Amino acid sequence: MEKVAGAEVSLIITSDERIHEINRAYRQVDAPTDVIAFALMEETGGEFVSPPDGILHLGEVIISYPTAVSQASEHYHSVQQELAILIVHGTLHLLGYDHVLPGQARKMRNKERDILELLKELDRG
């Protein structure tokens, strides 16, 4: 994978109703979800191409805020922490990670954990 100087991710925080509509329209799943990611790199086979503006546009991460609040309560941590988890999870999807198969899920969970630990260290700074 080619190294890039920076990348951009669009982050959208929305309602359960809107993410339900998106999930139904694009994934044919008639239910709300916590996070959906739309990668811009999939059509190129994952090859990074330097765009004219120099910023790599990875795609969009869409999060349901009400679901994030509910999941934060279920997992006994803050909404801020839940949002960080969902942003990292969605961004990893943009980078090609998936969790359909057990091996993929384990690899993705490990990467999520590593990134979240790094973010905690940066926050303690």
Q: Per-residue pLDDT tens for 98-107? A: 999 989 999 9
The predicted pLDDT at position 119 comes to 92
Residue type, 44: T
Can you identify the CATH homologous superfamily of domain 7-124?
Metalloproteases ("zincins"), catalytic domain (3.40.390.30)
Taking residues 50-67, what's their average pLDDT?
A: 86
Res 40 pLDDT > 80: yes
Q: Is 34 exposed, middle or buried (0-12, 13-18, 19+ CB in 10 A)?
A: buried
Long-range pairs of 117-123 with CB within 8 A, sequence gap ≥ 24: 119/84, 119/88
66 pLDDT band, cuts 50/70/90, is very high
Domains of the chain by residue range: 7-124
Quote the percentage of the chain above a pLDDT of 90. 70
| Strand, helix or coil for residue 3 | coil
